[in-house]
Structure formats: structure tokens, C-alpha cells
Amino acid sequence: MPAIQDMQGKTVVITGASAGLGAVSARQLAAQGATVVPIGRSPEKTAAVARELGVEPLVADFAKLDDVRRLADQLLERCERIDVLANNAGGIFPKRVQTVDGHELTFQVNHLAPFLLTALLHERLAATPGARVLMTSSLGNNMGRVKLDDLDSSRGPFLSLRTYGTAKLENILMAREIARRWAGDGIVAAAFHPGNVATEFARDSAISGLIYRVAPLRRLLLISPEEGAAPLVALATQTDTSLIDGVYYDRFKPNGRHSKQADDPELARALWERSAALVGVDA
């Protein structure tokens, strides 16, 4: 993805920016002239990144939808424009946990919370020429399966990798539905797999967490946060939006391997409408 646009005067909002590829992306886009708003769950880590950028941090826990609503209000107050909304926060969890909002934690953190945030920022995005929404998905979407009548994975045994893969599949469906639903607003959207990045996101997972915790496996199987951030930065700065709108990238490869469900526009529409009902927004 060549053709990098000038980021001077652009505002970039990045969730999951307290560490890993989110923090690296924040630094790189700020270095290219963008005003970057880093958002994270950890006050200390997010503040440290914000100090580097010379901005004020915003803190939100996506396991609490009221935090997301408060975050949206703060962003609308602070940002006169939002050129890029990078929905990068996420995680994989070893056990079924119900949030205070009554949803399964993986589903809420990876899909429902970013859906709510994006919906609440819709008007500001629409008012910003060339605005784009980026979804950090995963190759794990191939393991997922969206069941509209069981979005919280409440039936049967809890399989953390399958549940995570489903949420990452929902990220792709969300990007494609934004590309369709908000086309008239001039908003484009894309989803991407950053690669298997050496971050802490899966540290609590019994199986995949081993790769992230054991140093030899990390070096052998994982890429650096700098490498993982490269697709996000490329999508945020690509001048020709026709190349990215509604597209799922496997790092820099468009139309990377993905679940067949990701190509179902009716499923994308239904997931959107179901998600809107769950969080109480008209999107």
C-alpha cells in the first residue's frame, strides 16, 4: 500500500493505544504530523504514551459500556474532526465472564464496545471529509462463526479461541457494513490482520498465551509491535480510499483468507441491527 497522505491537520483516534501496536501506531502517525488521541484501559500506561505525544490521554474500560459512552462524549468535546478512528482495542479471555452490562466479555470488548463508540461518533466522522474507520481484526476470524441468536456464546462449552475468532469475524462484518451503510456520508472502512504480534493481549489465555509468555516461542512465531503497526499506519495514510473501502487485509494483502461468513451482506446488516439494539443506539 504505497501513496502516503500528508497527516498534518488530521486527527487520529486510536483505542488500545497504551501498549503494543496501538502505541507504536500512535507514535508513528504523530511523527507524520497527525494529532493523535491515545485511548487505553490502563491510566498509567496510557498517560505515558500521551506524554510522548504531548497530548492528554483518555481512559476507558471496554468491559463497561458506560465507559464507552463517556469516552464518546469526551472525544466529541475534544475533537472538532476525526479523520481516522482506529478500533484497535481487544483481547482474548480464557473463561466465560459476564460484564456488568450482561454480555460475554470477549464479544463486548472486541465487537460491541467498538460498535457503540463508532456509532456515537458517526456524525463527527460524517462531518470530516475522507474519514475512515479501521478495525483491527485477526486471521483467527477463520475459526469464528457468528450466530445471531447467540452473540454472547451462552450455549455449549466456552471455547476461548473460537469466541475470539467470532469477534474478529464480527470486526470484518462491521467494516463492510460501514462501507455500505455510510457510503453516502463519505466514510470508508477497512479491517486488517496485523500479523501475530508480540504483545500482552493474549497473556491470560491458557493455550495461545504460551506463545506470548515463553521467550523462545515469542521470537520464533511472533513479529514485533513495529511490524504489527505497519498495516494500521498504511491504511490510515492511504490516499486512494477505493483500495481499502470494505476490504479485509491480511497485513498488506487485500482480500486475505477469511471466513465465508465475512462475505455475507445480509449477515453484516443483521449483525449491525442486532448490535444497535443491544446498545440502544439508532445507527
Residues present in the chain in total = 283
Residue 212 is a catalytic residue: no
- Residue of 164, 212, 248, 249 with catalytic role: 164
Which residues are registered as beta bridge partners of 85? 13, 133
**Which active-site residues does the annotation give?**
164
